[in-house]
């Protein structure tokens, strides 16, 4: 990945990066170096994103969104700070791109004639089996 891979320069001043100790593999480096990245982006107070995109971004973020409206992305997949920083920025970029693209509208479809007739046939069959369960009255 290139350093200029993050294509949202208008958001970059609003991003806060914190380097924290990572868990998992890495040997002694895990205890000594802060290689994991915690990217924070305040969605609610951001002036570079319009309200429609903010709403979709908050919905897409799910548990990564705090009550204050701050999106927190943690990247600790790699063993270096730089790679984890780029990974966190890519995750943010992916979320923003997904929020920008409007969801597809569902086209309501009608059931086919064959499916309608199948449904009616099974209803008739069920009605007949229930009708056979009733007692037969003797008039004689």
**Token pair of 73, please?**
């992305």
Q: Percentage helix, strand, coil, to 5, in the chain?
A: 45, 15, 40
Residue 94 lies in a domain: yes
**pLDDT, tens only, 61-90:** 788 787 887 888 888 778 777 888 888 888
Residue 139 lies in a domain: no
Q: Does the pLDDT of residue 46 top 70, yes or no? A: yes
pLDDT grade for 121, boundaries at 50, 70 and 90:
very high
Name the residue with tokens 């971004």: 57
Per-residue model confidence (pLDDT) at position 8: 62
Compute and round to an integer the Cα radius of gyration of the chain: 28
Reference 20, options 33, 1, 7; nearest CA is 33
Residue 130 lies in a domain: no
Q: Does the pLDDT of residue 49 top 60, yes or no? A: yes
**pLDDT, tens only, 82-119:** 888 888 888 888 888 888 888 889 899 999 999 999 99
Residue 10 lies in a domain: yes
Residue 106 lies in a domain: no
Q: How many domains does the chain have?
A: 1
pLDDT grade for 2, boundaries at 50, 70 and 90:
very low
Residue 46 lies in a domain: yes
How far apart, in Å, do the first and last CA atoms of the chain sit? Answer: 92
Report d(CA 4, CA 97) in Å as an integer. 17
Residue 131 lies in a domain: no
Residue 84 lies in a domain: yes
Name the residue with tokens 């309200």: 51
Q: Which domain holds residue 79?
A: 3-100
CATH number of domain containing 20: 3.30.160.20
SS3 74: strand
Q: Are 95 and 71 in contact (CB under 8 A)?
A: yes
Residues 40-54 have a mean pLDDT of 79
């Amino acid at each position: 990945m290139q350093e200029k891979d993050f294509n949202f320069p208008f958001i970059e001043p609003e991003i806060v990066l914190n380097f924290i100790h990572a868990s998992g593999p890495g040997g002694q480096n895990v205890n000594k170096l802060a290689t994991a990245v915690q990217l924070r982006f305040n969605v609610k107070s951001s002036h570079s994103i319009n309200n429609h995109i903010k709403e979709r971004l908050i919905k897409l973020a799910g548990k990564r969104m705090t009550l204050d409206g701050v999106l927190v992305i943690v990247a600790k997949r790699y063993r270096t700070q730089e790679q984890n920083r780029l990974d966190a920025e890519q995750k943010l970029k992916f979320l923003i791109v997904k929020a920008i693209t409007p969801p597809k509208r569902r086209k309501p479809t009608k059931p086919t004639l064959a499916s309608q007739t199948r449904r009616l046939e099974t209803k008739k069959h069920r009605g007949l089996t229930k009708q056979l369960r009733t007692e037969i009255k003797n008039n004689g």
